[in-house]
Amino acid sequence: MTVVLVADPSHAAKIAAAADLDLSIEIITTGPGEGLPANAHEATALVPGFLAVADALEVLDALPALRLVQLMSNGADVWLPRVGGPLTICTASGAHGGSTAEWAMGALLAVLHDFPNFVAAQHRGEWDRHLTEELDGKRVLVLGAGDLGTQMRRRLEPFGAHITMAARTAREGVIAIGDVPAALPEHDVVVLMVPLTEATHHLVDAEFLAALPDGAIVVNAARGPVVDSDALIAELTSGRLRAALDVTDPEPLPTGHPLWSAPGVFITPHVAGAVPGGQARALKVVVEQLNRFARGEELQNIVADRGY
């Protein structure tokens, strides 16, 4: 019997209904403010709520039989200290890449075509006609060549952008992260789609930003701490660079933080994956993974070490 603790009761019935009936999978659940079920100590797999990270981390020590944590999100940064030993942690890669890439495309086009300023002019009742830019011909560097980065490339190609992909290690069509500094001066846009790890924390620092040409755009669809906020604010305030951010550091961005009022920045409140189909796609990944786990098959999307 494979006992799976599902932290969100609204997901438990859907997972139970979709699990392979030929496998012995028992779904148990708990809700906010509820204690763990009596047989929680037998659970070998845990499915945390989509954003209920703190609650899930708190119960790990009460689950001695746990062998798998299957996330519903792409990001696993807060789980990295738990990687190793008997515990396997897997992401829901493939569930949110499309919507995140759509956000990045929309945000990039909004900045290039100056939509935020046109909206502000509309609210003022002003006909502020002026030239803007286009994506066609722009040189775009996408940091991250997994599901998110691949989805981004697919959406950039029809717009006539010249795309460079970068990842931790080089392969055909992808440069290594170590080659990125030399490539920065040749790119008009940098799109961040990397996981947050020790290696990517403040990857985009003052030196990184200084290497970009005047007028370049930084699009952060990764995690806030991938970017040094102070360094970015300095470049935005000078008017040299622009940015589109779905994630920030700190997050949520507090009232009065200088990023809110910095010129040339478009900010959304971590909503790139907040679309109706995202949860259904994540649950599909979860069910497929639990079926594999129950059969003893190889799992996918494993967070193998601190560098992913």
Residues labelled catalytic:
223, 251, 270
Q: What is the full DSSP assignment across 250-289?
A: SSSPPTT-HHHH-TTEEE--S-TT-SHHHHHHHHHHHHHH
The rounded distance, in Å, linking the Cα atoms of 231 and 67 is 41
The rounded distance, in Å, linking the Cα atoms of 46 and 287 is 12
Residue 90 near residue 288 (C-beta atoms within 8 A): no
Residue 75 near residue 68 (C-beta atoms within 8 A): no
* Alpha carbon distances (Å) from 134 to 109, 125, 188, 293: 8, 25, 11, 47
Residue 80 tokens read as 């990295």
Residue 248 near residue 229 (C-beta atoms within 8 A): yes
